[in-house]
Structure 1
Amino acid sequence: MLKVTVELWPGGRESGSRVLATAKIGRIKSGSLADYKVELSEDPHGKICGSLNDYPRYASTLWDLVARAVAVALTGKEELPPRPQQVDVPIRISGNTPYVRFREIPEPARSLFKKRIEFSTRPLIDEDPEPMDCAYAWDWRDFLDGGR
């Protein structure tokens, strides 16, 4: 079995590193054309599984196997999914306070952002239909820029 681990090294330092995602690629049928079971794990998505069949062993690099295994788990075929679009969330203003609504932030960005600002101050926007469902726009921009 192969295990590929994706780690975050804050500031390029191994100390304080943390695992963000893993891929497990297990050979379930040997031979010159092998079959593999693939399991991708990432919070908050959980596990995504797939199968890569009749892969010609030793015909290319190990990275080719890894890339195809990940693609199969994500899309069901040996193709990359379309490149995601940049997250575009409207910045709203209440008085002098720019803010974003959590419900307008698509997943997985919403869950990651909420986790990153869990202990931060948040605005109470009285005129918003869900006044507790907001965050400061500067926190959102910092998050997108990698600062949170």
Structure 2
Amino acid sequence: MLKVTVEILPDGCERGSRVLATAKIGRLRSGSLADYRVELSEEPHGRICGSLERYPRYASTLWDLVARSVAVALTGKEELPPRPQELDIPVRTSSGNTPYVRLREIPEPARSLFQKRMAHSTRPVIEEDPQPMDCAYAWDWTDFLAGRR
């Protein structure tokens, strides 16, 4: 079995690194055309599984096997899904001139990741918003997108 681990290295240093995602690729059938089972794990998405069948072993690099395995788990085919669109979340301004974003307008997985990073941070209560407790400061959202939060 192969295990591919994706880690973040803060400031490029090993110290303080943490695992973000893993891929396990297990060979189910040997031979010149092998079958593989793929399991991708990433929080908050959980596990995604797929199968890569009749892969020509030794015909390319190990990275080709890894890339195709990930693609099959994500799409069911040996091709990448369309590139995701940039997150374009409207920044609103309250009557008190506080710039904010609505958490409900942030698509997954960004919403869950952002909420996790905001767990112990101050958030505004925007009284004129239909869901006043479902807001965050616009600068926190901008910092999150820039990788500073």
Structure 1-normalised TM-score? 0.99
Which residue is equivalent to 1:25? 25
Which residue is equivalent to 1:13? 13
- The structural deviation recorded for 1:117 is 1.1
What SS class does the counterpart of residue 34 from structure 2 fall into?
A: strand
Q: Distance in 2 between matches of 1:10 and 1:133?
A: 30
May I ask how many residue pairs the two structures share in their alignment?
Answer: 148
Which residue is equivalent to 1:91? 91
Q: Distance in 2 between matches of 1:42 and 1:26?
A: 18
Which residue is equivalent to 1:110? 111
What SS class does the counterpart of residue 64 from structure 2 fall into?
A: helix
Q: Distance in 1 between matches of 2:10 and 2:119?
A: 19
Q: Structure 2: which 5+ runs fail to align?
A: none
Q: Deviations over 1:96-126 (max 9, x none)?
A: 1000000000000000000111111100000
Aligned residue runs from structure 1 range 1-148, under 5 A: 1-94=1-94, 95-148=96-149
Runs of 4+ in 1 over 3 A off after TM superposition: none
- The structural deviation recorded for 1:87 is 0.7
Structure 2-normalised TM-score? 0.99
Q: Deviations over 1:38-89 (max 9, x none)?
A: 0000000000000000000000000000000000000000000000000110
What SS class does the counterpart of residue 23 from structure 1 fall into?
A: strand
Q: Structure 1: which 5+ runs fail to align?
A: none
Q: Distance in 2 between matches of 1:83 and 1:56?
A: 27
**Cα RMSD after superposing both structures:** 0.4
